[in-house]
Amino acid sequence: MAMSRGFSASSISLLLLLFASLANSFYVPGYSIRSYKTDENIPLLVNKVYSDNSQLQYAYYDLPFVCPPSGEKHLGSRYASGHSIALNLGEVLRGDRIMNSDFEVNMGQDIECQYLCDRVATRQDVEWARQLIDDGYVAEWILDNLPGATSFVTVDRSKKYYSSGFKLGYKDYDASTGKPRYFMNNHYTIVVRWRKAAGRAGDNGGKVVVAFEVYPKSMDAAQRNETGCPLDVQADHKEFSLFIPPKDSGLHQQYPDSSYIPANEIDMNDGATLTIPYTYSIYFRETDEIEWEHRWDLYFSDQAETSFTHWLAIVNSLIISGILGAVCVVIWGRTMQGDLKGRGDGVLEEARLKVKKTVQKKAGSGLLEKLNEAGADGDPSDEEVVEDLSGWKLLHGDVFRAPAYGGLLAPVVGSGMQLIFMVAGLLVLSTFGVLNPSWRGGFISVGVGLFVFAGSFSGYCSARVYKTFGGQNYKKNAALTALLFPGLTFAFIFVLNLFTWSQASSTALPFTTLLALACLWLLIQVPLVHLGSHYGFHRAPVMEHPTRTSSIPRQIPPQQWYTRNPFALPLLAGLIPFAVLFIELLFVFKSLYLDKSSYYYVFGFLSIISALLTITVAETVLISTYLLLNAENYHWWWQSFFVGGASGFWIFVYSAWYYTTRLHIDGFVSSLLFFSYAGLACTVYGLATGTVGFLTAYAFVRQIYSGVKVD
């Protein structure tokens, strides 16, 4: 009866739907509202450049064709340009490199044109700029914690939305030759939208920033005044071409009026340079249409358009979970009511009666003698009763036999519990708005913190499972739990870091960051794992099994193909949880890979999908475990873990398909990073869902065998 109530948990998840809309729309946009008075300086920070077509990012000031920081401290600015802003761990891990810039932005002060610098670029610099433009790189600037946005409007001009970042330049084709030409955006029109601050700050003249837009433009270097600005900024200008004429006159005649010359035909070290002038304009515009609390909404432009997709994903998950729940109820009814017909020793009584009837039929007039031979009280012996059992009931003496490589399964389950704690914490905090885009790097920072401090849960669960398997050396188990998954992950990231270092990308982690991660792991997480392991092994009660394990393992009869192969059943069963996630994965992958300038924000929906996924994984494992036991196969320990985590394999397959059909990632290092991090994410997912499957199977097996007590 208790188990039936457990299966009705899928219906309980319907209640979560009532909170979906609230959870989806509510977020904490920041810790405090910063207001500015007229003429007060607003720091404009530069961060990095990134692309949807590459996994490599670069710090903005590392680009050799943009204005370098002058190192001067402008009026009202707190720091000199080029000063690195302190970053949290998450910002560093996501490749941010935020620095103060030379842009002078003062509240309410419009600037028609301001000269920034003349940047001298070599041929190699120009070639790199072309490559970045070809790959669609965009730059990210930050003002009042808002990323600089490119503004768009819908076709009917009824709605405005933002895309984070702006393009470095663009590519066009020569009309006469059809060859590509590249143009650099070297003038930036900055629009800062503001409104009066609320409360006392507004009464004192305070203003808050509600939007930050950047409109880049390419302007030729000709016709500029003595300050370096164009004579008329608003007029149409010839574009600034990224082209250095070759010194070889033959090449110049071969490619007339075109910036396209094959790189292999040019001496890249001939000393030729190109001077790129940079200027900017600033305009402040008051608006009452945007509330400060909702200033991020324009970055979430497709909320209404994608809500149908998320609801479809939830309905799909509910249907799959409901069907599996019905199957589980049938299985549970069969095992607990049809097979056992009661609790306690009911199965033995039923088997004894069956044996008695058989004896009566065969013995005839010698009934009494046969019954006396069967037992002193006229009842059949337990051995005769057990012989009459069938299916999963025959495994009562082997079902709790410690699995092969149990010393590895315990640390794996412990690491899975650690990841479950981390993921659950992130989903809860994100759903209620504590983690949101305004806290840049907060999601990763909190995730690392939750993982490290969940080490005590990892050690505790691992120790209890290890003790259940009959292990004695808990220190060895604790060390393996603390070092196995985190150690492999750290080594994996370190090796990948060598490739990104070779590309001079900001995606590469600084040595100090690697050292900080190692300290978090070895100085905090490892002791917490040992502490939890000590408590779980010495203080927690032993998990006693309802049946006694026999000394001689039972021979497993010939199996069907899906139970004979240890990977067949998990791979087939893994398709079911994958079907639950499939629709939501479309949106997740789009946010991660196709549109990095957008933000994933529907954590309310994702939390509901995750809850339904957990229920589906539990139901799938329960069904597969019953099939395995009914085939008289007691090797369910690892099988339950593999079935629970197998959908991670299908997610990786989906990632490979997505890479092949939807993405345009070029370069060995970018492709390596894509598949490596996709594999790591699927491994984390597999460990978490595999642990859910293991715990579900263990609870199920304990429950059904609690009524089979054969000594």
Residues 304-351: tens digit of each pLDDT:
567 777 788 888 889 998 999 998 888 887 776 545 444 334 444 555
pLDDT at 263: 57
Give the lowest-confidence range in 107-116, 247-256, 310-319, 542-551: 247-256
Give the lowest-confidence range in 167-176, 367-376, 498-507, 623-632: 367-376
Give the position of tokens 């910063």: 34
pLDDT at 25: 37
pLDDT at 342: 40
Give the lowest-confidence range in 57-71, 288-302, 668-682: 288-302
pLDDT tier at 707, thresholds 50, 70, 90: low
**320, two tokens:** 């799959």
Q: How far is CA 159 from CA 297, 522, 590, in A?
A: 12, 51, 22
Can you name the residues that pair with 147 across neighbouring β-strands? Answer: 142
Q: Is the pLDDT reported for residue 186 higher than 50?
A: yes
Q: Is the pLDDT reported for residue 31 higher than 80?
A: no
Kindly state the percentage of the chain with pLDDT values over 70: 82
Q: How are beta strands 207-217 and 187-196 bridged, if at all?
A: antiparallel
Nearest C-alpha neighbor of 711 from the set 543, 541, 551, 471: 551
Mean pLDDT of 497-505: 94
Encode pLDDT of 407-447 as tens digits.
999 999 999 999 999 999 999 998 888 888 888 899 999 99
Q: What is the mean pLDDT of the chain?
A: 84
Q: Is the pLDDT reported for residue 458 higher than 90?
A: yes
pLDDT tier at 674, thresholds 50, 70, 90: very high
pLDDT at 388: 46
Mean pLDDT of 172-179: 80
pLDDT tier at 258, thresholds 50, 70, 90: very low
pLDDT tier at 670, thresholds 50, 70, 90: very high
**Do residues 176 and 207 make contact, with C-beta atoms less than 8 angstroms apart?**
no
pLDDT at 705: 86
Give the position of tokens 């600089």: 148
Q: Most confidently modeled of 101-115, 141-155, 242-256?
A: 101-115
pLDDT at 106: 94
Encode pLDDT of 636-661 as tens digits.
999 999 999 999 999 999 999 999 99
pLDDT at 361: 53
pLDDT at 708: 59
Q: Is the pLDDT reported for residue 374 higher than 50?
A: no
Helix or strand (DSSP H, E) at 451: helix 442-453
Residues 6 or more apart whose Cβ sits within 8 Å of residue 261: 246, 251, 255
Encode pLDDT of 142-156 as tens digits.
999 999 999 888 777
**Do residues 453 and 523 make contact, with C-beta atoms less than 8 angstroms apart?**
no
**Cα torsion angle, 460, 464, 469, 470, sign:** positive
Q: Is the pLDDT reported for residue 387 higher than 60?
A: no
